[in-house]
Structure 1
């Protein structure tokens, strides 16, 4: 018995006809008659306003429809080294992982699938990265790197250094590959070595604080040969400090700190230069002595200063005595000079007396004054 089933398909619909559970054809908009004679016929209506085909039989459709597939579908069939960008009405709307096979309905939405080979490069175009960020898909499929000014980015792909990145923002496909980035600071940095308990050559215990400035000169070497730059430099500064202090006495350390700084700098600079690290300067901040040693040094300094003061005092007394002797000789040889000295003495005396009574004239006063002094 011949039986026809009436089927109405709208503009936003497509119908898949299955006969005896096998795909037969796809029907577009319109009124259709589907013949059924002792056959099991199933009809699946799909709303193509949502252009993604959601059925589970994509491979079956591709195989059974063959050349007719392109009449109703856009096929995305990506290789193992490809990712796909799904454009709907000219705008990127989705990303397909490598090895994906998917169908999209033709009709209401213009769908295009662009395949991108990962072998040609992993970096995303800036416009595509911006769009994927808007969709919230960028972190799912890509690794992003932001490199500030005075920094350098290093990109590692599957554990191998791939390239260096200057200042800027980058995105790299991170699908089926391990893409990792590191940012190296190229600015001048500082490291401090504090509280180092050391012995001088003359067995004096003291504590030393040291500061150094450095910068990463070769980021690639520094990253590949050194785990932590600051730790390596700290250790070399320690070694250089111990070596320099143990070779000097306390007096030498206190008397010439510049030589101590220079020796530590030379040691550290020579050790880390080959690791891509440049030491710019080293300086000893503090030399801290124990309490009893401070008292001893203070006593020594006090004794030295007292001795210096005594020497100066004796020297000035000798100079004063010598000057008096010279003056006495001049007065002895010159009566006029003697007379002037007498007048000066009289002037000094009269300045301190409110009332003075003179007997015998000026000669009498001078004679009595000389007699009193003698």
Structure 2
């Protein structure tokens, strides 16, 4: 009799251990557990740690709550100014409601991916090429709103959307390069013209100063001669001083204070 009781106790203990082993579940820190009892959502979402379910009757689904990085394949489209481009992006999102992410949508990752691709093609068609190249922050915000609106009902929150790259045809790249080169050449010409204008004003002021003081012109001439002579690779021809030329024009000039004698009349 005692042996039978021991055998029954051992069998009950084994059954209890098996039941406990099949009912025990571990939910990780970055996960949440959703329990379906006979196919129906029951109870609250299980928090991280140790939890128990009813074997055979309950089924525990673990939902990852981490931020998911989802690359969006490159989408080809025509911009509003009729330029063909290929644009790819990346979406950062996370699950905020584990029950809705499991019940409301079959595969929330696939659903977000398809919505991101559709929204990206829509953004391409509504934007100009200049916006895609230089105004990406505004486009990222618009793309985030377009994806986040339907994702809210799936228990998913869009954290951030970034446009990664914009690929242009080779002909368009060459056209943009020519445009940039022409614009730089235009600015260079404007700068040169402005420099010439400022230099002409300074030279005009210098000419007026030198016209009032003839000696300044001679000093400037001597400075130029010194600068040219320092190179030692030119033939230098020195002009006559202006005073010497004036003296040669009137060699018989009478000194001041002396009255020349008149010839006697015959």
Verify same fold: TM over 0.5: yes
The reply on whether 1:258 has 2:178 as its aligned counterpart is no
Partners of 2:99 and 2:215 lie apart in 1 by 94
Report the RMSD for the aligned CA atoms in angstroms: 3.0
The reply on whether 1:195 has 2:115 as its aligned counterpart is no
Aligned to 1:149: 29
Partners of 2:87 and 2:239 lie apart in 1 by 73
Unaligned runs of 5+ in 2: 233-237, 245-266
Partners of 1:87 and 1:173 lie apart in 2 by 22
Q: Report the CA distance shift for 1:340/1:182 in structure 2 as closer, same or farther (over 3 A).
A: farther
Q: Which residue of 194, 204, 207 corresponds with 2:83?
A: 204
Does the CA contact (< 8 Å) of 1:143 and 1:180 recur in 2? no
- TM value normalised by structure 1: 0.56
Aligned to 1:161: 41
After TM superposition, list the pairs within 5 Å mapping 1:1-374 onto structure 2: 48=3, 51-52=6-7, 86=9, 93-95=13-15, 132=17, 137=18, 142-163=22-43, 164-174=45-55, 177-335=56-214, 337-349=216-228, 351-352=230-231, 367=240
Q: Secondary structure at the match of 1:227?
A: coil
Partners of 1:316 and 1:204 lie apart in 2 by 39
Q: Secondary structure at the match of 1:183?
A: strand
Q: Report the CA distance shift for 1:368/1:151 in structure 2 as closer, same or farther (over 3 A).
A: farther
User: How far did 1:251 drift?
Assistant: 2.6
Q: Secondary structure at the match of 1:180?
A: strand
Does the CA contact (< 8 Å) of 1:207 and 1:289 recur in 2? yes
Q: Secondary structure at the match of 1:201?
A: coil
Q: Report the CA distance shift for 1:299/1:350 in structure 2 as closer, same or farther (over 3 A).
A: closer
Partners of 1:294 and 1:307 lie apart in 2 by 20
User: How far did 1:367 drift?
Assistant: 4.4
User: How far did 1:168 drift?
Assistant: 0.9
Q: Counting strand residues as a fraction of each chain, which structure ranks higher?
A: 1
> Which structure: larger Rg?
1
Unaligned runs of 5+ in 1: 1-13, 15-27, 29-47, 53-73, 75-85, 97-131, 354-364
Deviations 1:189-235 (A, max 9, x none): 21111211111112211110111111111111221101212112112
The count of aligned residue pairs is: 238
User: How far did 1:336 drift?
Assistant: 5.3
User: How far did 1:345 drift?
Assistant: 2.8
Greater RCO (Cα-Cα under 8 Å, separation 6 or more): 2
Deviations 1:143-194 (A, max 9, x none): 44221112211122111122311111334331xx332111112122211112
Does the CA contact (< 8 Å) of 1:240 and 1:267 recur in 2? yes
Partners of 1:346 and 1:290 lie apart in 2 by 59
Partners of 1:230 and 1:298 lie apart in 2 by 40
Partners of 2:171 and 2:186 lie apart in 1 by 23
Q: Secondary structure at the match of 1:173?
A: coil
Q: Report the CA distance shift for 1:255/1:51 in structure 2 as closer, same or farther (over 3 A).
A: closer
User: How far did 1:285 drift?
Assistant: 0.6
User: How far did 1:368 drift?
Assistant: 6.0
Deviations 1:271-311 (A, max 9, x none): 21222111111111101012222222222222222222222
Aligned to 2:257: none
Does the CA contact (< 8 Å) of 1:342 and 1:366 recur in 2? no
Does the CA contact (< 8 Å) of 1:144 and 1:170 recur in 2? yes
Quick check: 322-331 or 180-189, which moved more? 322-331
Aligned to 1:113: none
Partners of 1:349 and 1:196 lie apart in 2 by 67
